[in-house]
Chains A and B, each alone.
Chain A
């Protein structure tokens, strides 16, 4: 298993796309911090990168990589190896590479310029989102055989998580404005890892505004250590459950 992980890791590094992404993130975050006169504005710009670009690159690159290595997978399956360990190694390699690339590209500049609780939580969320979207990409890739269709599916998934879901929430909020929606909203936010991550960051970044009545509900839930723990568990579930389903599917997949 270690060998496969090592191979996947080296293969990804060799493809240079991830290295390019890392350098892109690095240049972007450094220039953001250097351009803005106050670093909290820099964090704000970085927030958009973490919530939009990181999931996009993660999901797209992973899906393409899985499709491109289909022959390699076939070869591995023909060896006396468990399918489960093949698939998990592939995941660990991909997720590790994406998380590392985010950490080097955005994490280190954040640590350099904004070594605050807000900065730390942003790094944690960024790494988690990388890992989660690799897992979602692998599920999508195992479910659709055709490469073009698969890539379309992951693009749609990304669009759903970063935009459509929020639109839906906004629709619900206005449609049911007469009802107390604060608590259901806490639950709904758990259905989207990007939203959950964003709220965790907001709690550090906009804590003053969040102390208003509605905000206080979120603060009371996510702001406590139990709430934080629950949110983290949900984030891990977002990585683990799609992966687990994809392993099950891969076990019985006719390659």
Chain B
């Protein structure tokens, strides 16, 4: 029985090997253009493209083929066309340099656009000056790996998102580098997706932006110097682990903006030099653990609309303000964090401070109400106000406190 199975398998293997052929495109090769090659290609074929500049308008792929570039052949969209449109499953595109896609405010023109299909792999391509970079529409089980995307347009309307996923499922997005787009990565109605090891920086708006995208995981990504940081909204069961949120500066810029997010995990991330590291509004049942907040303006702004947010075992180091809030009620739980501003003592030497730490300073509250008061920050006067408030809390929320603050920073 097993022998027959193995035999069948071998036959199958041979059969596929025989049927799949390589088609070469380039100067002095079988075909001069990719579109010609595509016409005669059959399912399972590979089209191998030599280096050169190809101005073919739109390349539409409707067969299960592999499109591979050698030494990054350039596909030029001449600022008019969508460069590659994929409408078939089992397509692999790798090793191309796509430049100058069309720009449109009616259609979302992209460098590579994947339409209503599955199992497409986009690997190791370079996309320069494309409107949208890689666009997935109603697709599933696709893999976007090792691509480098860059745009330099400064006007938001003329600049699309780097990797844009709409109504897709089970995608794997890894090791991409996105720079200068509108949003680095944008997900809408996209579920069960894994986003790993990407670098998204200097984008005009958000480094990562998702809405209505549930059950996704974001791991070891770097989001740096984006116009407005990272914004995540209206989603549940999101996991964000070991990401780096760096240097997102500005009044509307957040390391991480959580709006209407529920049942999610934010752990082992690093927040460095953001104006506001995490801003939470309407966030419910969020667990924040083992994160490091360092040199931020505000480590956390947690609005009164948040509920059951657990903040424990984080390090708060050298932030201007630890926590800011807008109301007097806090329904969230702060526990076992290390706060470098903590001034309490530990008599029984169990590593946990004996007096609670109140992370909201009076002056942070004053600035919340009256922003220009920032000019008085760190003056003798503001220090005095903060000290008196620490002794008798009146204006800051009474129950927003860490009852078990750690005496020593956690090793993270």
Number of A residues, CB within 8 Å of B: 40
Nearest CB on A from B209, distance (A): 20
Q: Kindly list chain B residues whose C-beta atoms are within 8 Å of the C-beta of A205.
A: 378
Segment among A7-15, A21-29, A95-103, A164-172 that sits at the interface with chain B: A164-172
Instruction: Enumerate chain B residues within 8 angstroms of A40, measured Cβ to Cβ.
Output: 295, 318
Decide if A38 is an interface residue (CB 8 Å cutoff).
Answer: yes
Main DSSP-derived SS at the A contact region: helix
Q: Could you tell me the distance between the alpha carbons of A110 and B115 in the complex, rounded to whole angstroms?
A: 61
Verify if A52 is at the interface (C-beta below 8 Å from B). Answer: yes
Contact call B297/A214, Cβ cutoff below 8 A: no
Whether B251 pairs with A185 at a CB distance below 8 angstroms is no
Residues in A with CB closer than 8 Å to B358 are none
> Known: A208-B274, A208-B296. Contact between A181 and B377, CB under 8 A?
no
Query: Are B320 and A166 in contact, CB atoms less than 8 angstroms apart?
Result: no
Q: Number of B residues whose C-beta is below 8 Å from A?
A: 34
Q: B276 contacts which chain A residues (CB < 8 A)?
A: 212
Chain A residues lying within 8 Å of B251, measured Cβ to Cβ, are: 211-213, 216
Inter-chain CA distance A163–B379, complex, in Å, is 8
The reply to whether A162 and B297 contact each other, CB–CB distance below 8 Å, is no
Residues in B neighbouring A195, C-beta threshold 8 A: 375-376, 379
Closest-CB distance, A204 to chain B (whole angstroms): 12
In the bound complex, CA of A138 to CA of B296 (Å) = 42
* Chain A residue at smallest Cβ distance from B409: A37
Which of B249, B250, B375 is within 8 Å of A199, CB to CB? B375
CB distance from B299 to the nearest CB of A (A): 10
A48 (CB) vs chain B CBs: closest residue: B383
Question: Is A253 among interface residues, defined by CB-CB distance under 8 A?
Answer: no
A170–B380 contact, CB under 8 A? no
User: Which chain A residues border B378 with CB–CB below 8 Å?
Assistant: 44, 47, 198, 201-202, 205-206
Which listed residue, B253, B376, B380, B382, touches A162 by the CB 8 Å rule? B380
Name the contact of A198 in the complex, choosing from B295, B320, B379 (C-beta under 8 A): B379
Judged by a CB distance under 8 angstroms, whether B340 is at the interface is yes
Contact A208 B295 (CB under 8 A): yes
Complex Cα–Cα for A38 and B318 (A)? 8
Check if A51 sits within 8 Å of B370, measured CB to CB: no
**Bound Cα distance A167, B317 (Å):** 29
Contact A177 B370 (CB under 8 A): yes
5 A-B interface contacts by CB (under 8 A):
A202-B378, A206-B320, A208-B274, A212-B250, A214-B371
Shortest beta-carbon contacts, A-B, top 6 = A209-B297, A213-B251, A209-B320, A166-B381, A214-B371, A208-B297
Residues of A within 8 A of B (CB): 37-38, 40-41, 44, 47-48, 51-52, 162-163, 166-167, 169-170, 173-174, 177, 181-182, 185, 189, 194-195, 198-199, 201-202, 205-206, 208-216, 218
